[in-house]
Structure formats: structure tokens, C-alpha cells
Structure 1
Amino acid sequence: MSFGGVPTRQARTVPFLRSLARHARTPVHAFEEAASRAGSELVRLNMGPFRPYLVTHPDHVQHILKTNQPNYVRAGMFWDPLAPLLGQGILSDGDGWAASRKILQPVFSARYVNSLTDRMAQIIDELIDTTMVPNRRFDVAEAISALIHPTIVRLFLGATISDADIDRLAPAYDTGVTARSIRLLLPFVPQSFPLPGDRAFKQAIRTIDEVVYPRIDYAKLRGGEEADLVSRLVGVRRTEADADRLIRDDMVAVHGAATETSVTALTWVWPILDAHPKIAAKVYEEVRRVVGNGPVTVAHLPELTYLKMFVDELVRLYPPGWILPRTAVGADTIGEVEIAAGSTVVLSPYLTHRLPEFWNRPLEFDPERFAPGNDHGRHRYAYFPFAAGPHACLGPRLFMMEALLLIAGILCRYRPILHTTGPIAPRLASTLRPATGLSMTLVPAGHS
């Protein structure tokens, strides 16, 4: 068979449902098994009535995310269940995405993000002082969220937002990205058919809208007096049809992406430090040498070189956006495999980052992979923790600064003691979250 003069073949199908049943509590492991069977070849996953293509080879990732990117849109699996939350802004596709990206790109430019760093450092330092209580056991994800959400809200949504509204937003976003997780694996079930989590999802959206829309109204009344994200969006979009909804979608997408990525990734920091004491010792030594007793300032960030390598390796093994499905608009050929129009292709940084063809000792946590010069010869699309191509995340620079400030800010004061036995498994959600119930205690540095 040929496709436009190019020889094509049908992708082989690998079993998936039985593996999924075995790993009902940790479905990510079913994807790992499928990737192992595929061996970086493009295959179809047998999910009964739904058979998406699993894409892991960097060449194929590059084709979808860059070379023929317009043919692969954010629709169908993963995206449709979250559409009521994310709306038609930067996390959508087509004209809505293009307009939002043009508006938001300057907000995430290196110059603008760097201008936020002093304020971000101050906010994080204050929050660590007020929320991190030593010698008391606490839930890791909740604690990290209590640092990240207020930081992002105050930086981007305006300093006048109340603590009560921030306290409402954080759990609402958390519910929004987790409540419909079951629909990730059941994309063939109509949206009109009720599934567990649907009611909580709708309530989360109501809560978010109750906080966000008044912020838009307030920004309109101020008439551009402030320079926060809400005011910028109001200034640019106020003459458009359905302006409030478009502004709401951009606000929700930016806040959700900025907080969810960071909370998810930085929750993994603590089990990794616990599991790798030699690496942890290097991180602690660098923080002690560079930062001392704190607080962490912008001037410290360039010197936290090993901590940056640690974070780069963290998002290799545990990329927050672990699954990136796309829908093919038209027929295509990828690696000689014929892709019919309307097909779903599933990309996964989590799986590609673990391919032995492209990573030596892929399952071993080793920050030295990201030492200067060690990326020589690495395939550009073997590592894409923040997606790639035109739809690449706008905020990797913001994430890295936030990660360094938060980790170093905690470790210049405290040492973590994790309360767990055995490895920490990811749970099913739209982002790669650790299993629930992960807890730890912080003890003063030097007294652990």
C-alpha cells in the first residue's frame, strides 16, 4: 500500500485493556507496559472500541508537534472532558489559541518574567515563614499548593485578591484537573452520560467562575491602573464579542497551567530526595553554600547549578504533563504508518523520556545528565517536559525560577523527613501526580 507515493503499512495493535485492569490503581504503569511492547515503534492500543496510536519515538513526536503540527489538534481524548474548565484560550486550538498566545506571549517573555523574580522571591519567602510549621506532620501536595497558588495569584491576578478567594481557588483547580480522570481512559463515553466526578467537576468550575468574573469586573472599573494580567487582558480584549468569557478562559488557563505544573512537579521533589540520599546531600550542600540561612534572592539563582540539574532531571522522570493526545484533522503518514483522519495519537513525555535508545540508564535518577555539555547529541524531541513546537508551554522559565526559589527557600531552613514506605506511584489525573496521602515533617536544618 502507498500513501501519496510513500509506502505505508498498518500499525500493529498491542493489548491494553487487560494491562489496564491489572493496574487499575496506577494506570500509568499500563502505558509503561504498552511502551515496552512497542519498543519506540508506533503502535495502536487496543482499548476495545477505541484504538489510539501510541507515539514515543522522538522522530514521530517531532512530526506531530512541529513538522506537521497544524494537522494534529487539541481535541478528543483528554481535551474534551476538560474543555468546560479550560475554555477557548491558550490551552485550546485554532483561532482562539492563536489569539490568546499573541496576547500572552509578552507576559512570559524573559524580560517580563525576570522583572517578577524579586516579587516572587519575596512572596515565597513570606509564605514559607507563615505556612511551613516545623516538627509537625503535613500533607505534601497541600503544603506545596499553599505556597504555589498564592504566589501565582498575587503575581498574575492582582495583589488585591483576598486570601479567602485564593483559598477557594486552590481546591477548585485541584478538583478540576482530577475529578474527570476516569474520562481519560473512557473517551468513547459521551459527555452526556454521567460518570463519577462529573458533579464535582461542575461545582469546581462554578467556584472558579465566582472568583474570576468579579476580578474582571474590578479590572474594568480600575480602567487600566494596574499592570497585572487581568488588567492587560481587559485592555486588549474589552471590545471583542464575548470579551468576559475570553478573558476568563485566558485567566483560568494561565493560572491553571502555572499552578498545576508547579504543584505537581514540586510534590515529587521530596520522595526523590528521600530515595536518593547522596543526591540529596549534594543539593543540601549547594543550598547551604550558596544561600546560607536565607532568604533566597534573585542573586542566588545562577549559582544553584546542581539544584537546576536536579529539577531538569525531576521533570524528565516525572513530567507534569505526562500525556498529550492529539486528533488528526487529515490523513497522514508517520514512520510509514498510515494515520486516518480523525484518529487519536497519544504522545507521552513520561514514556519518551524513559526510552533506552535515547537515555542511558533511563529509570535511574541522575542530575548529571543535565550538567553543561551533557546534552550533546541528544535528540531535540527526546526531552520535552513542557511540550514542544508552536504549542510549547509559555512558562518554563517561570517554572524554573519558582522551583529554585521554593526548594532552596525550604532547604535553607529545614530538612524533610518523609513518612512513607516503598516507592511512590503516580496516580491517574490529567497531570502526573503522586499517590494521595504523601506526608512529611520538616525539622530545622542542622538538627536532622
Structure 2
Amino acid sequence: MSAPDLAPGRADRDPAPAPSPASSAKRLPPGPSRSRTPALLARMARDRLSVMTAAALKYGDAVRLPLGPKTLFFFNHPDHARRVLVDNAANYHKGIGLVHARRALGDGLLTSEGDLWKAQRKVIQPVFQPRRIARQTEAVAEEAAKLVARLRAREGTGPVDVRDAMTELTLGILGRTLLDADLSAYDSIGHSFEVVQDQAIFEMMSLSAVPAWVPLPQQRRFRTARDDLERIVAALAAERGAHPTEHGDDVLSRLVDALDAEPDETVRRQRMRDELVTLLLAGHETTASTLSWTFYLLDQHPLVWERVHDEVVDVLGDRLPTTADLHRLTYTTMVLQEVMRLYPPVWILPRKAQQEDEIGGFHVPAGAEVLICPYTLHRHPEFWAAPDRFDPERFAPGRERERNRYAYLPFGAGPRYCVGSSLGLLEATVVIALVVRELRLAKAPGWVPTPEPMLTLRVRGGLPMTVHSV
């Protein structure tokens, strides 16, 4: 979609209401008029990234978007992000999209609020302590080495879907590092999560207006996928209950222990299901998407690939990485950070104002749906020179002092900062290092990767690449 699609003329634009003499806090952001709602809804369903990009381009850092019976307040400045996510975070609960995803995901850590969220975070947080995450480096490296072997076996056989390969990898790593369980037996899990994401976006775009019992093909697929995930979760919980691990410091063990005191079997089963489905989705999908975009961008920028390869060979030689090595893979880390700038794993952070507020001089009514969009914020020309260019040097050591802290939010910010960020960074760094040391992945001729903004920013339709030994 081009920018003019959101550039209404004088007759169909709602200007920002003028502030009253008594209070400038009632000034609302500018945006398209409500008469354009049908067209805007259609564009949101078709290409959400272009809608957000065009809105910021045409209306500035604060935009009012009419979407059906709701009005979205889209804020696109680091100061706005800080206000919503950090300084006044208690006023902003999870909003449109995540609220509607509850039908698909339940009340896990991603969608819950209040005391339930605090209790869930308390249970899971210790699993992500730095010392425990550091101990997972060996397991991550072993799984990455298996990936290299699988990819090498496909050399000369035609394109490999890298998105599928990264999904298989990250599920294997998640099973070993967080659940102390082997997920390879559940070969349907990746497909089921894809269906769940589709349903979550459908719920967001329809504002949950379509009853769950309506026999649409998509809803039937979702019910099948949900049943499959519940079966997997039940099997994992039963296995852990019957065979506790020696140390019991993995997520699965901690959930079993935390829910053991719940007298209601139905509640206990539902809580376990919600927690594990959320963990399994968030724990593999974000890193798989980031890795997919990384290998695409490295193929498009051969000089960057060469520099990563040389650094990895210099630091690791022919051995697997240790935790100490990660701090020496400086350029590899810079590349990863730049990938997450262009293609943030979580592309949008929806919130709902509990009480009225003021952001950037604009009034936010109580109950307003508020959007912070890392995808557009990471490309804001005021804070990023040549924002669409892939340039890992932006993240050279020491340059973080040059940018606004809240212009870069790949893992969010504030109390709901991604609990698994440290594991995700470790995982991605190790995988990039071992793959680039051994292999070169080349995009299939004629294929143009397209971002698909679901719950994560994945590659639409997969990423076919051919495998070549170095």
C-alpha cells in the first residue's frame, strides 16, 4: 500500500480537535475520518505493516485510527513508548489483539493481567536467571550442530524451507533448555501453532465478533489445532508428574509444583494448558522468525556474511562455543541486533488505557486502545539514519549512547519486558555462528520474502534457500 492510501482529502479527514482554552489535555491526535473505516479495515486485514507505516508518514508520531466500533491510538515516538510501557505501565493492560487472542491462547503469561500475571511471572522468572541460562549454552550448541548436519545433508537437493528448519530447531532447543523434555515426538506442534496464530489474528481483526461455534473452515482448523496442543500439554505434564527431574528447575517442573495445591482439577488442567501453550509459542516462534530473517539478510549482504564468518572462525576455530565465547562474537551480535531492528520479533505492543492519560500532549481517554509499534519505531527517520538500510555498524560497541533508549524495543520495555530475551539472544547468536562457519544459505531465485505480521513477524509462506558448504 502506498502512503496516499491513508492521505484523505479535506472532505474526509478528521483534523485533531482544537484544544479548549481550559485544557490542552483534551486534544486528540489527527487521523482519517470514520467514514474511511471500511477501507481501513480491509487494508488492515491485507497489510497491517503498510497501514502503520503510511499512518506515521501522513499524520506524524500520534495517529487516531478508526477501526470498526473502536478507535486505535497509535503512538510512534520513543517518549510515547516510555510513557506507555514504563513510566505509566500500570495504567496500560494488554490490548487489542492480545485480548482477543485469549480464545486461542488462554490466560498464559502473554495475555494475563494483575495478580494472575504476577503469580505466573514469579513461577517462571527463576528459570531465566542468568546463571541458569548460561548453563544452557552447551545444549543450544549441540542442537545447532544437529541443524548444521541436517542442512548439510540437503546440499545439492534443492531449496530447504529455512523457516521450517528454524522452527524445528527452536522447538528442540526449547524442549531441552526450558522443559527438560524431548519435543521431537510431537511432529504436529509447529503446524498447530501456525493455525493458532492465524486464529489469534482473525480474532483481532474481527474483534471476536464471530462466535466460536460458527463452522468456518478456519475455526474448524483452529479447534483441531487447539485439541492437538492440549493433548501435547497434557502428555508433557503427565510425564513430568510421573517422572520428576533431578533438580526440578525447569519450567515444566515448576508449573507442576506451583499448581499442585490447586484443588480444582479443571482449573489446574486449564492453567497448565494456558501456561505451556503460551510458553511453547513465544519460546520458539520469535527466535525462529529472527533467525529466518537473519539468514535472508546475510545472503543479501555478502560482505557482512564474510565478516561474520571470519569472526566466528577466529573466535571458535572448529569447536562448539562456550558461554565465554559469546562476548567475543561482537560483530555477530551487531548483525543480530540490526536484524531485530528491521524485523522485530514482536512487531506491535497493544495496550488498553485503564484511566485517561496524556501522551505527547494528546489526550488518551479511559478505555482507549493504544498501539506502540516497534516495526515503525525502529524505522523512524528522526532516530535512525537511512532507516531501511541494513547496517550492523549502528550497533557497534559504544554507539548505544547515541540513540534514545526507547527507539529500539525488540523485547519491549518496562515490567513486561520479555522474560526470555536472554535465552533468545544466546540461542540466536550460537545458531548464526555455527551455521555461517560451515554453510552458506542462498535465497531461491525469484523468491521475494514478505513479512507477515502475526503474533510475531514471520516470513510469509516460508523461506526457500539452497545450502552450500563453505
**CA 1:67–1:426 in structure 2 vs 1: closer, same or farther (change >3 Å)?**
same
Task: Indicate yes or no: 2:141 matched with 1:116.
Answer: no
State which of 193, 196, 203 in structure 2 corresponds to 1:173.
193
State which of 444, 455, 460 in structure 2 corresponds to 1:435.
460
Q: Is the 8 A contact 1:9 1:338 kept in 2?
A: yes
Counterpart Cα distance in 2 of 1:413 and 1:334? 49
- Letter aligned with residue 69 of structure 2: P
Counterpart Cα distance in 2 of 1:252 and 1:376? 38
Q: Note the aligned Cα RMSD (angstroms).
A: 2.4
Q: Is the 8 A contact 2:103 2:200 kept in 1?
A: no
Q: Secondary structure at the match of 2:443?
A: strand
Counterpart Cα distance in 2 of 1:221 and 1:422? 48
Equivalent runs, 1:338-349 vs 2, <5 Å: 338-349=363-374
Counterpart Cα distance in 1 of 2:345 and 2:315? 28
Q: Secondary structure at the match of 1:443?
A: strand
Number of aligned positions between the proteins = 441
Q: Secondary structure at the match of 2:136?
A: helix
- Letter aligned with residue 50 of structure 2: H
**CA 1:191–1:64 in structure 2 vs 1: closer, same or farther (change >3 Å)?**
farther
- Letter aligned with residue 187 of structure 1: L
Q: Is the 8 A contact 2:124 2:254 kept in 1?
A: no
Equivalent runs, 1:255-334 vs 2, <5 Å: 255-334=280-359
Equivalent residue number for residue 386 of structure 1: 411
Identity %: 34
Return the offset for 1:84.
3.2
Counterpart Cα distance in 2 of 1:235 and 1:155? 18
Equivalent residue number for residue 101 of structure 2: 82
Q: Is the 8 A contact 1:128 1:147 kept in 2?
A: no
1:249-305 alpha-carbon deviations (Å, 9 max, x no partner): 222222211101101111101221122222222122222322334434434322211
Return the offset for 1:191.
4.6
- Letter aligned with residue 233 of structure 1: L
Q: Which stretch shows the higher mean deviation, 252-261 or 421-430?
A: 421-430
Counterpart Cα distance in 2 of 1:3 and 1:307? 55
- Letter aligned with residue 273 of structure 1: L
- Letter aligned with residue 115 of structure 2: D
**CA 1:196–1:377 in structure 2 vs 1: closer, same or farther (change >3 Å)?**
farther
Counterpart Cα distance in 2 of 1:191 and 1:176? 16
Task: Indicate yes or no: 2:65 matched with 1:45.
Answer: yes
Q: Which stretch shows the higher mean deviation, 313-322 or 339-348?
A: 339-348
Q: Which stretch shows the higher mean deviation, 200-209 or 10-19?
A: 10-19
State which of 27, 36, 53 in structure 2 corresponds to 1:9.
27
State which of 84, 87, 105 in structure 1 corresponds to 2:125.
105
Return the offset for 1:321.
0.6
**CA 1:264–1:196 in structure 2 vs 1: closer, same or farther (change >3 Å)?**
farther
Q: Secondary structure at the match of 1:181?
A: helix
1:163-209 alpha-carbon deviations (Å, 9 max, x no partner): 222x1222212221234434433326345484662222222211111
Counterpart Cα distance in 2 of 1:4 and 1:163? 64
Equivalent residue number for residue 232 of structure 2: 211
Return the offset for 1:106.
0.9
State which of 406, 428, 435 in structure 1 corresponds to 2:431.
406
Equivalent runs, 1:188-199 vs 2, <5 Å: 189-192=209-212, 194=214, 197-199=218-220
- Letter aligned with residue 219 of structure 1: R
Equivalent residue number for residue 72 of structure 1: 92
Counterpart Cα distance in 2 of 1:4 and 1:351? 34
State which of 356, 376, 398 in structure 2 corresponds to 1:351.
376
Q: Is the 8 A contact 1:323 1:348 kept in 2?
A: yes
Task: Indicate yes or no: 2:147 matched with 1:147.
Answer: no
Counterpart Cα distance in 2 of 1:360 and 1:308? 20
Q: TM-score scaled to structure 1, two decimals?
A: 0.91
Q: Secondary structure at the match of 2:371?
A: strand
Equivalent residue number for residue 113 of structure 2: 93
Counterpart Cα distance in 2 of 1:316 and 1:17? 31
Q: Which stretch shows the higher mean deviation, 102-111 or 425-434?
A: 425-434
Equivalent residue number for residue 255 of structure 2: 233
1:73-109 alpha-carbon deviations (Å, 9 max, x no partner): 114x211332134322311222211111111111111
Counterpart Cα distance in 2 of 1:22 and 1:251? 33
Equivalent runs, 1:241-252 vs 2, <5 Å: 241=263, 242-252=267-277
Return the offset for 1:146.
1.6
Q: Is the 8 A contact 1:3 1:333 kept in 2?
A: no
Return the offset for 1:30.
1.9
Counterpart Cα distance in 1 of 2:389 and 2:183? 43
Counterpart Cα distance in 1 of 2:163 and 2:273? 26
**CA 1:162–1:140 in structure 2 vs 1: closer, same or farther (change >3 Å)?**
closer
- Letter aligned with residue 248 of structure 1: R
Counterpart Cα distance in 2 of 1:224 and 1:443? 40
Return the offset for 1:21.
4.7
- Letter aligned with residue 158 of structure 1: D
Q: Is the 8 A contact 1:294 1:413 kept in 2?
A: no
Return the offset for 1:4.
10
**CA 1:367–1:352 in structure 2 vs 1: closer, same or farther (change >3 Å)?**
same
Q: Is the 8 A contact 2:192 2:226 kept in 1?
A: yes
State which of 352, 358, 365 in structure 1 corresponds to 2:390.
365
Counterpart Cα distance in 1 of 2:171 and 2:397? 32
Counterpart Cα distance in 2 of 1:234 and 1:12? 50
Q: Is the 8 A contact 1:108 1:394 kept in 2?
A: yes
**CA 1:94–1:283 in structure 2 vs 1: closer, same or farther (change >3 Å)?**
same
Return the offset for 1:438.
2.1
Q: Is the 8 A contact 2:212 2:219 kept in 1?
A: no
State which of 138, 158, 167 in structure 1 corresponds to 2:180.
158
